[in-house]
Amino acid sequence: MKALIGALSALMGGVVLVVALCVIFLVAAVIASPFGILFANEPSPGAVPLNVAVSQINMELTDKLSLLQAGTYDSIDIQGAGPDWREVTAVFACKTAMGADSVDVAALTPDRVERLKAVFWDMCSITSSPETIDHPAVGSTAAWSEKVLHITITAKTADNMRTAYLFNSEQNSSLTELLAELGVIGDLLGDLSISQESVTELLSRLPANLSPERRAVVETACKLVGKVTYFWGGKSRVIGWDSRWGTLKKVWADGNSTTGTYRPFGLDCSGFADWVFYNISGGSYILGHGGGAHAQHTYCTPITWAEAQPGDLVFYPGDTHVGIVGGWDESGNIQIIHCASGYNNVVITGKEGFTTIGRPTYYSS
C-alpha cells in the first residue's frame, strides 16, 4: 500500500485521489474476504438478505421434518437442536470466500444460497426411529400400545468444521475473527430492512398521497416478506424481530395437520397481520383483540374492492385466511401481503382466493 501511494502520488500529484483510491481498494479487499458477509444485506441485483436465505433453508428443514413426522404417532419426542445460524454463517463465509472455487459472499445470489445450504446440512444431521411401548392393564384401563417417534438433531459447531473442512491457517484466523463478531452477524439475521427488488418495486408504486398510517402498515408488512416461515398458531407480540423465529417449536394449536409436529417457529396469517399493526402502533393496538382471522374481520368496516387502499385487510371465504392490501402491480392488479401456508412464508401475491375486504378500525381510532 505504501508503494502504491508513492507511485500514484508521483503520477497524479494529488493526495485526495490517492486517499480515495486506497479507500476503494481496502473496501474491495474486505468485500472479497469472508468479512464480505457483513455487507450481505445491502441491496444487490438478484441477491437476497441473509435472513431471507436462512428462511429458504428453514423451509427445506420444515419439509424434511414433515416427511419424518408423517404417519400416526401418539407422541413425538425430539432431542437436540439445529446449529447456531451465526456460526453457520461464519463457517460459510470462510469456506466460500477463501476455499477452492472461492467467490465473494457480499451478495447472496442463488448460487451462494446453495453453498450456504450445503454448509448448514454439513453442520446438521437428523435421524429418526419409531418405538412401540406396550402399557399393561391398570385397574379398569385395558392394556394399550403407545407409538412414539424419536427424532434426534445433531449439530456441529464452527470449531468442529475447522477440521471437517480442513481449513488452512488463513481460514482459521478469519473464522476466529468472525466468531468474535457473532453479535454483528446476529444483527444481520434479525435485520428488518427492505432490499428485495420485488418489495421495493411494490413500495415505489404506493400513491404519493397515501396517509402515513397506511404507508407504515405496508412498509412494516414488507419487512417480513420472505423472512418468516408459516407456523400454525404462530403469534408474536414483539416490537421488531422475534428471536424465536426459525427456532424449532412444537405446533401446539389445534385444528391443523401440523398440530403436534415440530417445525421452525414463525407466524400464521392472523399472527402476521397482528404483528404488523402491533409494531406500527408501538404495541398499543392489537388487531382483532388477539383473535384469529375471523376476529380481525369483525373489527373491520366492510368496503368494496373498488374502495380498496393499501393497508386494508382481505379475507378468504369463511375467514380462513387474512392478508394485507399492499398496492398494485404495473398492470393495475391488486397485490396482497400475507403469511401463507402454501408458500410457507410471508409473500406478495395477487388476489388469489381472497373474496372480501374490510377497513380496520385502527384507521378511525
Residue-wise pLDDT tens digits, 263-281: 999 999 999 999 999 999 9
* 222 and 155 housed in the same domain: no
* 180 and 215 housed in the same domain: no
Domain extent, residue 270, equals 206-364
Residue 84 lies in a domain: yes
Residue 7 lies in a domain: no
Residue 200 lies in a domain: no
Residue 342 lies in a domain: yes
pLDDT < 50 regions, the chain: 16-27
- CA of residue 151 relative to chain centroid, distance: 24
* 302 and 235 housed in the same domain: yes
* 173 and 75 housed in the same domain: yes
* 170 and 94 housed in the same domain: yes
* 127 and 223 housed in the same domain: no
* 51 and 92 housed in the same domain: yes
AA letter at 210: L
* 220 and 171 housed in the same domain: no
Per-residue confidence (pLDDT) for residue 364, from 0 to 100: 82
* 229 and 321 housed in the same domain: yes
Residue 300 lies in a domain: yes
* 169 and 220 housed in the same domain: no
For residue 316, the domain's CATH number is: 3.90.1720.10
Per-residue confidence (pLDDT) for residue 20, from 0 to 100: 43
Residue 13 lies in a domain: no
Per-residue confidence (pLDDT) for residue 195, from 0 to 100: 86
Residue 21 lies in a domain: no
* 168 and 212 housed in the same domain: no
Is residue 357 within 8 Å of 314, Cβ to Cβ? yes
| Number of domains forming the structure of the chain | 2
Polymer length in residues for the chain: 365
Phi-psi group of 144: left, alpha or beta (phi > 0 → left; psi -120 to 50 → alpha; rest → beta): beta
Is residue 289 within 8 Å of 299, Cβ to Cβ? yes
* 155 and 231 housed in the same domain: no
Per-residue confidence (pLDDT) for residue 9, from 0 to 100: 63
Per-residue confidence (pLDDT) for residue 283, from 0 to 100: 95
- Tens digit of each residue's pLDDT (9 = 90 or more) over 66-84: 999 998 899 999 999 999 9
